[in-house]
Amino acid sequence: MLRLLSLLLLLALPAQAEEEIILGLSQNEIDITATFVGSEILLFGAIRRDAPVPEGNLGIIVTVAGPEIPVTVRRKERRFGIWVNVDDVEIAAAPSFYAVASSADLSKVLRPSEDLINRITIPQVVRHVGTNVLDSQSFARALMRIRAENDQYQLLEGAVAISRDTLFQTRIQMPANLTEGFYVAKIFLTRDGNVVDEYETSIPVKKVGMERWLYNLAHENAFLYGLMSLAIAIAAGWSASAVFGLFRR
């Protein structure tokens, strides 16, 4: 009886993963300054195994997601000689930045069902709410296209290098127009397109120096910020007028 209970307890315990991701980052945070023109993050790591290498096609997928911000996408049409908004769709969840890098084509390392469950690809992380617009999907595609053109959404198939089925690395280029907040980096380990392990960490992105001071002043003391802006504008106008006056002489 005791042996039977022990066997049942062992069966009830969760099975340990045969493969586990160990991750490293080239930098633990990103500071936004006046001269910030973007940043490159190196993500590297290894696969720890408690058993021989399993059979099946190995895949590594790395995603980096910025803070999710609701977005309203509007469609304009020309009516009576002017452009007006005719339809709009609210995108309930849209990361301000999203990059997905993989060791091969996503179709080879990720099953559609796994993508649906884990929300890995760009279309899966951009979701819109219910709407009366028939072609609401086109609004989401338009948002993805615009952000892709601004390097805010990146698809980097084949950008993850794997060495000896154990070590891996990739580089993610962060654009200059980053939104402040926590950026979530996820690494998915797949076998034959199925996710077998996942690792997650966060990277804080914040304004520092003069940018932080101006941001806090604008949000905490708007009146003083407005007076300072007005004074700067008057001083700039007076200086320009004085310079032009010298040239006229």
The pLDDT tens digits of the residues spanning 20-38 come to: 888 777 666 665 555 555 6
The single residue listed with the structure tokens 């849209």 is 94
Q: How many CA atoms lie within 13 A of 215 on its CB side?
A: 12
Question: Pairing state of beta strands 127-128 and 82-93?
Answer: antiparallel
Q: Which residues of 194-224 are buried (b: 16+ CB within 10 A; e: fewer)?
A: ebbbeeeeebebebeeebeeeeeeeeeeeee
Spell out the domain ranges in the chain.
17-207, 209-249
Which option is the CATH number for 17-207: 3.40.47.10, 1.20.1440.230, 2.60.40.3880, 2.40.50.140? 2.60.40.3880
> Which residues face 22 on adjacent strands?
46
**Each residue's pLDDT expressed in tens, for the chain with a length of 249 residues:** 444 344 344 344 444 457 888 877 766 666 555 555 567 888 888 888 887 777 888 999 999 998 888 777 776 666 666 655 556 677 777 888 999 999 999 999 999 999 999 999 998 888 765 555 566 677 778 888 888 888 889 999 999 999 888 889 998 888 877 788 888 889 999 999 999 999 988 888 865 544 554 555 455 556 555 656 666 677 666 666 666 666 666
Nearest CA to 56 among 189, 198, 163, 157? Answer: 189
Can you say how many angstroms the Cα of residue 213 is from the centroid of all Cα atoms in its chain?
26
Question: Pairing state of beta strands 153-157 and 161-163?
Answer: unpaired
List, for residues 176-199, the tens digit of each pLDDT value: 777 888 888 899 999 999 999 999
What per-residue confidence (pLDDT) applies to 94? 84
> Which residues face 76 on adjacent strands?
85
Nearest CA to 19 among 188, 201, 193? Answer: 188
Cα→Cα distances 19→23, 146, 199, Å: 13, 38, 12
User: Could you give the 3-state DSSP secondary structure of residue 73?
Assistant: strand
Q: What is the pTM of this model?
A: 0.70
Total Cβ atoms within 10 A of residue 248: 5
What per-residue confidence (pLDDT) applies to 209? 47
- To 5 degrees, how large is the angle CA 153–CA 157–CA 158? 145
Taking a C-beta distance cutoff of 8 angstroms, is the pair 225, 218 a contact? yes
Angle between helices 210-220 and 222-248 (to 10 degrees): 120
What per-residue confidence (pLDDT) applies to 190? 93
CA 152, CA 96: separation in Å to the nearest integer? 7
Taking a C-beta distance cutoff of 8 angstroms, is the pair 89, 73 a contact? yes
Taking a C-beta distance cutoff of 8 angstroms, is the pair 236, 230 a contact? no
